[in-house]
């Protein structure tokens, strides 16, 4: 569903937003309304060493997120190695902030220990969340890794764009 949104978004020409600026989009009137995501630059591709971990906010300033460069190509990964992914950091159990254990390549919540696999689109490894960790859709354009959409609902929201 969000894939379609992203294409719509690009088609409407709204992609020309300033880098790292969070777009303000008119709030939807209904929860089920199609959401338009902003596009923001997260990091320059050539700065992302293997193991890189970049904190950012998406789709707005109250949505802490993380971009990771993993050790191998993964589903949904971007970049030449298909190893760059990004996720909401808010645990889909009760909203604590998850940590990335780089050695283990897993995201773990300190509150009730839900853990998520960044190589499997944020699937729950074990724990008490009832949802995968929302995955941020990325694209690489002009040497920049950009966040352009989301798959999955961010904790504490009824729609990703407030």
Partner 1 sequence: MSNAPLPPPNAEVVETVCQFCIVGCGYRVYKWPVGKDGGPGPDQNAIGADLREQQGPEGDWISPNMHAVVKDKAGAFNVAIVPDKSCSVNSGLASVRGGGLAQTLYSPDRGTKARLGMPQLREGDGFADAEWDETVDLGARVIKAVIDRWGPDAVGMKFFDHGGGGGGFENNWAVGRFFFEGVGTRTASIHNRPAYNSEVHAAGDAGLAPLTNAYIDAQLADTILIVGANPYETQTNYFLNHMIPNLNGDSLDLKRSTFPGEPAAPGRMIIMDPRRTISVATAEAAAGKENVLHLQIEPGTDIAVMNAIARTVLERRWHDVAFIKERAEWQTFEAYQRSSLGSDRDAATVVTEAAALADILEADIYKAAEWIAKPKSGGVRRRTLFHYEKGLIWGVKNYENIASIVDLGLLTGNVGKPGTGISRLGGHQEAYVRPPYPGGRPALNVDEAARRGEAKVFWVGGCNPVLTTLRAEAVEANLIERGAPVSKAIAETVGKPIGERVAAIVEALKAGGMFILAQDLYMTATARHAHMVLPAAQWGEMNLTSINGERRLRLYPRFMDPPGEAEPDWAIMGKFARRLNQLYQDDNNPLMANKFLDFDWRGDEDVFIDARYSYKGDGNDPMEGYAGITYGLLRDLGNNGIQTPVRLVNRVPVGTVRLFEDGRFGTPSGKARFIPAPRPWPGYAAAVERQRKTYRFWINNGRVNHIWQTSYHHRHIDFYRERYPVPMLEMHPDDAEELGIAPGDVLQVSNDMGSVEAMAYPTDSVKRNHAFMLFGQPRGAAGDLVTDHVDPKTTIPYYKGAWADIRRKGAKPAEFEMASFLPRNVVE
* Identified catalytic residue from 69, 93, 121, 146: 93
Q: Which residues contact 2 (CB under 8 A, 6 or more apart)?
A: 35, 37, 137, 149, 150, 151
Min CB(142)–partner 1 separation in Å: 27
Q: Is 121 in the site for ligand FES (CB under 6 A)?
A: no
Contact region with ligand FES (CB under 6 A), list: 49-57, 59-67, 108-116, 145-153: 108-116
Would you give the distance in Å from CA 115 to the centre of its chain?
16
Burial 18-41 (b: 16+ CB within 10 A, else e): eeeebbebeebeeeeeebbbbbbb
Q: Is 65 in the site for partner 1 (CB under 8 A)?
A: no
Contact region with partner 1 (CB under 8 A), list: 11-19, 78-86, 138-146, 150-158: 150-158
Q: Are 97 and 64 in contact (CB under 8 A)?
A: yes
Return the residues of window 44-83 that contact ligand FES according to CB under 6 A: none
Q: Are 116 and 123 in contact (CB under 8 A)?
A: yes
The one among 128, 131, 132, 159 contacting ligand FES by CB under 6 A: 128
Three-state secondary structure call for residue 154: coil
Residue 158 annotated in active site: no
Among partner 1, ligand FES, none, what binds residue 89 when CB lies within 5 to 8 Å by partner kind? none
Q: Is 111 in the site for ligand FES (CB under 6 A)?
A: yes
Residue 93 annotated in active site: yes
Which residue from 144, 130, 133, 134 is spatially nearest to 54, judged by alpha carbons?
144
The backbone region for 153, taken as left when phi is positive above 0, alpha when psi lies in -120 to 50, beta otherwise, is beta
Residues that bind partner 1 (CB under 8 A): 1-2, 27, 30-32, 35, 62-63, 75, 92-96, 101, 104-106, 108, 110-115, 117, 119-121, 123-132, 134, 150-160, 162
Catalytic residues: 93, 112
């Amino acid at each position: 569903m969000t894939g379609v949104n992203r294409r719509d978004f690009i088609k409407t020409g709204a992609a020309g937003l300033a880098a790292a600026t969070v777009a303000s989009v008119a709030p939807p009137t209904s929860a089920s309304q199609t959401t338009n995501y902003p596009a923001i630059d997260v990091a320059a591709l050539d700065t992302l060493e293997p193991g890189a971990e970049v904190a950012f906010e998406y789709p707005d300033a109250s949505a802490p997120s993380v971009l990771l460069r993993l050790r191998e190509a993964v589903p949904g990964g971007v970049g030449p190695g298909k190893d760059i992914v990004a996720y909401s950091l808010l645990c889909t159990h009760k909203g604590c902030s998850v940590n990335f254990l780089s050695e283990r390549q897993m995201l773990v919540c300190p509150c009730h220990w839900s853990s998520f696999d960044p190589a499997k689109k944020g699937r729950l490894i074990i724990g008490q969340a009832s949802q995968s960790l929302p995955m941020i859709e990325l694209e690489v354009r002009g040497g920049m890794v950009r966040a352009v959409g989301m798959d999955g609902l961010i904790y504490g929201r009824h729609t990703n764009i407030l």
